[in-house]
Amino acid sequence: ADQPIVLGFETSCDETGVGIVRGIELLADAVATSVDEHARFGGVVPEVASRAHLDAMVPTVHRALDQAGLKLSDIDAIAVTSGPGLAGALLVGVAAAKAYALALGKPIYGVNHLAAHVCVDQLEHGPLPQPAMALLVSGGHSSLLLVPDVATDVRPLGNTIDDAAGEAFDKVARVLGLGFPGGPHVDRAARDGDPAAIAFPRGLTGPRDAPYDFSFSGLKTAVARWIEARERAGEPVPVADVAASFQEAVVDVLTRKALRACKENGVDHLLIGGGVAANSRLRALATERAEAMGIRVRVPRPGLCTDNGAMVAALGAQLVASGVEPSALDLPADSSMPV
């Protein structure tokens, strides 16, 4: 009961997330999304996302309070994603969080979006094992992070050098004529396909390549070329086989590199987060390969993998617990914030 109640705001991309936690206990997780407004553009349009955040913000705060059965006066601290993300979208969340902090006279904590994706698993599976390795895969990022302490010490080991994993799913879904966002569609289509049907390239897996960096743009191009060749030959495109083979190429590289990072850094817990962590094949293959190496995999349920406010509140509560000083009330939004 002594644990602080933290209200968290997330607006770095197209989800307006407001969450409430008490320590590592999840009390509310309200999310509004503008995803449908971006669908016809095949990607998130920053200006559209910012305006949608503005419309959704206050109603989403009220939904979260209703879920938790709390009043604003019950809140002990505010946390907000201050970066990285879309500049205009971040600004809406940061401005709202400042307004609530000022009005309530409570401290505000600007938090890193990537660290929040890691921290959220505490709400489902209990205190984070430390150190942990984290694989963060979403529409905006593909990172390997060594996490000695999620509140104070998160070390990036590698990143994508071109497209994010989710971006590759979205682009391949588009050339296959599936919907947006593409990840769930590819995941579903792949269930009826053969993952070994087509040998698509595994980027950056050569002996001289950076062991913890990722590259998915070559894979995306290879899939597009393969489909074009079929169409030119007047042959039908086997959508399920293409989806399964593409998905296998992504997931094979992600799990191989993440587990290698665990082994080389002496870490025996792997956390997977971000929207792509909802992928059924990634969850299965990571668990299967990790088991063989004596490594434990933790993946939050899909609703906590995609962007949400609860993850921000979770990290805020962790900062409070670690005795980290709050941010100043003029804290900036930083679209390219490093971890």
Cis omega (within 30 of 0) for bond into 131: yes
**138 has binding-site annotation:** yes
Order across the sheet with 269-273: list the strands. Answer: 153-159, 142-149, 132-137, 269-273, 296-298
Rounded Cα distance, 47 and 158, in Å: 30
Q: Quick one: which of 121, 187, 241, 248 contacts ligand KG4 (CB under 6 A)?
A: 187
**17 has binding-site annotation:** no
**153 has binding-site annotation:** no
- Please answer whether residues 120 and 300 qualify as being in contact, where contact means their C-beta atoms are separated by less than 8 angstroms: yes
Q: Inter-axis angle of helices 87-104 and 46-68, to 10 degrees?
A: 30
Residues 138-177 that bind ligand KG4 (CB under 6 A): 138-140, 166, 169-170
- Please answer whether residues 13 and 140 qualify as being in contact, where contact means their C-beta atoms are separated by less than 8 angstroms: yes
Query: Which residue's CB is nearer to ligand KG4, number 107 or number 274?
Result: 274
Rounded Cα distance, 237 and 128, in Å: 44
Number of residues that bind ligand KG4 (CB under 6 A): 19
- Please answer whether residues 12 and 54 qualify as being in contact, where contact means their C-beta atoms are separated by less than 8 angstroms: no
**322 has binding-site annotation:** no
Binding mask 108-137 for ligand KG4 (x = CB under 6 A): ------------------------------
Stretch that binds ligand KG4, among 152-160, 202-210, 260-268, 272-280 (CB under 6 A): 272-280
The verdict on 9 binding ligand KG4 (CB under 6 A) reads no
The verdict on 274 binding ligand KG4 (CB under 6 A) reads yes
Query: Which residue's CB is nearer to ligand KG4, number 42 or number 129?
Result: 42
**113 has binding-site annotation:** yes
The continuous run of DSSP H or E covering 312 comes out as helix 309-321
Q: Quick one: which of 49, 108, 262, 276 contacts ligand KG4 (CB under 6 A)?
A: 276
Q: What are phi and psi of 77, to 5 degrees?
A: -155, 155
**19 has binding-site annotation:** no
The verdict on 13 binding ligand KG4 (CB under 6 A) reads yes
- Please answer whether residues 5 and 284 qualify as being in contact, where contact means their C-beta atoms are separated by less than 8 angstroms: no
Residues sharing a CB contact under 8 Å with residue 22, sequence separation 6 or more, in sequence order: 3, 4, 5, 6, 317
Rounded to a whole number of angstroms, the minimum distance from the CB of residue 119 to ligand KG4 is: 14
Residue 170 binds: one of ligand KG4, Zn ion, none (C-beta under 5 to 8 A by kind): ligand KG4
Which positions lie near ligand KG4, rule CB under 6 A? 13, 138-140, 166, 169-170, 181-184, 187, 274-276, 278-279, 306-307
